[in-house]
Amino acid sequence: MATKVMISFPEAFLKEVDRIAHEEHRSRSELVREALRSYIEARQNRRMPGDMPQIQRAVATQDALARSSSGSGEDSTVELRRWREAHS
């Protein structure tokens, strides 16, 4: 069941919304719903850096390198660069 919501837009903004809705052959409501869905999805996908899969993989790789390192005293940045070169 859909619930109606009353919102206010500045006139110029509403004209732009209506123009886009007309170009895309859809209603103003459809356009606003899609825009809000996109906003909610984007907001839900924003995460703290530690929650990002790429960072988690990078940290896991760095941890694995640290465990396998003989403790040569070398800079870990150098070790990471060597690993990247070997695995790219």
Interval 2-31: pLDDT, tens? 899 999 999 999 999 999 999 999 999 999
**What was the pLDDT predicted at 51?**
60
H helix and E strand count, the chain: 4, 0
Supply the Cα-derived Rg of the chain in whole angstroms. 25
Query: 4 vs 1, 29, 36, CA distance in Å?
Result: 10, 10, 15
**What was the pLDDT predicted at 47?**
62
Domain spans of the chain, in order of start: 11-45, 49-86
**What was the pLDDT predicted at 21?**
94
pLDDT in tens, 26-78: 999 999 999 999 998 888 877 655 566 777 788 888 778 777 766 666 667 77
- Which pTM value belongs to this model? 0.50
What is the amino acid identity at position 21? A
